[in-house]
Amino acid sequence: MAADRLKKNGVYDQVVKAFGKRKFVEFGGIEPNPRFETCLKAVALAKKKKVDFLLSVGGGSVLDATKFIAAAIRFRGKDPWDILRTMGGCVKAAVPLGAILTLPATGSEMNCFSVISREKTQEKLHFGSPKVFPQFSILDPEATYSLPRAQVRNGIVDAFAHVMEQYMTRDNRTHLQDRQAEAILKTLVDDADKILAERPDYDSRATWMWCCTQALNGTIACGCVEDWSTHMIGHELTAFFGIDHGQSLAVVMPAVWKHQKQHKKAKLAQYARRVWHVTSGSIDEQADAAIDKTIAFFNSIGMPTRLDAYRITGADIHKVVDRFAERGTVLGENQNITSKEIEQILRLCL
């Protein structure tokens, strides 16, 4: 989160005032898709100053970085990258942390997950640990008023995609969780224009923030098999080509659905009926309508759904495919997406 914006929207002053006479050390300059290398600087500073509480002030990137920093300060091994390599398995302790969230999107304010990128190796990995669950999170809708429209758009798509990674799989016989997921999707669809309005209003921004939180706080995932292949493929597009996280999701998700339609079609059709009020057609046709409606929704808020919008071509995608091949990655709720299928999916994004 740009420190400039925090000063401009008044959040910086509010935080300093709230600290009162308590001592604090500032660390700025955490970038979007927060970098391992930057985090290590913060770890060194925190250790030197014997920091005993971390306060994240900013968006999901700052908070994800703060979670990693919190775990890395207490890490007793040789290489803190192991925190990511073990997906948090090696995290035994962390400095307690709180969050003041100024950009909703990631849901990081109410979960124990964090995504960190490594510049040197162009990797983007995640970890999770109950030790880095925020002690508190403060979400003030007014703090989002100064956000550029592109970041608001990213945040809407991010929340939408988070819901979908948990929902758009198969019939899990989780009737309530399905409807809770659809509640978030429907709210985002209904309110997107108001959330993006040039003159922001409190209620729409509050609704957006709350959608983002509820999308990834674990509630809708209870009892569900999850997908997350869109995120895994999207992370690599961000790592290699620098496109925003939200942008990568809008491109990859419809392609994953097209590729996996045979497995996902019952759920796609349910989504078409309940969120888009599609009432006619076969299951196959309803599933197609679900994909079309979603693409149209993203495009209607100005979000591209093709890689060519970012000048990424067929010649570029081998980088991503090769990495998955090297890692031997297998993705999707059916564990049927290997590097070969990832290439097919990326070709559907061109």
| Residue ranges that bind a second copy, judged by CB under 8 A | 173-177, 179-180, 182-184, 186-187, 190-191, 203, 206-207, 210-211, 214, 219, 222-223
Closest separation between CB of residue 279 and a second copy, Å? 11
Q: What values do phi and psi take at 146, rounded to 5?
A: -90, 5
Least Å distance between CB 214 and a second copy? 7
Residue 207 Cβ vs a second copy, minimum distance, rounded to whole Å: 5
The alpha-helical segments, DSSP class H, found in the chain are 3-8, 11-19, 36-48, 60-73, 82-85, 149-167, 175-195, 202-215, 229-241, 245-259, 261-276, 283-300, 318-327, 339-348
Residue placing its CB nearer to a second copy in the complex, 210 or 240: 210
The distance of closest approach from Cβ of residue 210 to a second copy in the complex, given in angstroms and rounded to an integer, is 5
Compute the least distance from the CB of residue 311 to a second copy, in Å.
36
Does residue 217 sit in helix, strand or coil?
coil
Structure tokens at 154: 């990213």
Per residue, the 3-state secondary structure of 107-168, as one string, reads CHHHCCEEEEEECCCCEEEEEECHHHCCCCEEECHHHHCCCCHHHHHHHHHHHHHHHHHHHC
Answer for the pair 46, 95: CB distance below 8 angstroms, yes or no.
Answer: yes
Q: Which is nearer to a second copy, 115 or 192 (CB)?
A: 192
To the nearest whole angstrom, how small is the minimum distance from the Cβ of residue 128 to a second copy? 20
Do the bridges between strand 113-118 and strand 123-128 make them parallel or antiparallel, or are there none, so unpaired?
Answer: antiparallel
Structure tokens at 300: 């209607």
Nearer to a second copy, 122 or 217 (CB): 217
The nearer residue to a second copy, 213 or 294, going by C-beta atoms, is 213
CB of 220 to a second copy, least distance (A): 10
* Dist CA 109 CA 211 (whole Å): 12
Q: Please name which of 58, 7, 47, 10 lies closest in space to residue 25, comparing C-alpha atoms.
A: 47
Take residue 221 and report the two structure tokens written for it.
């995932």
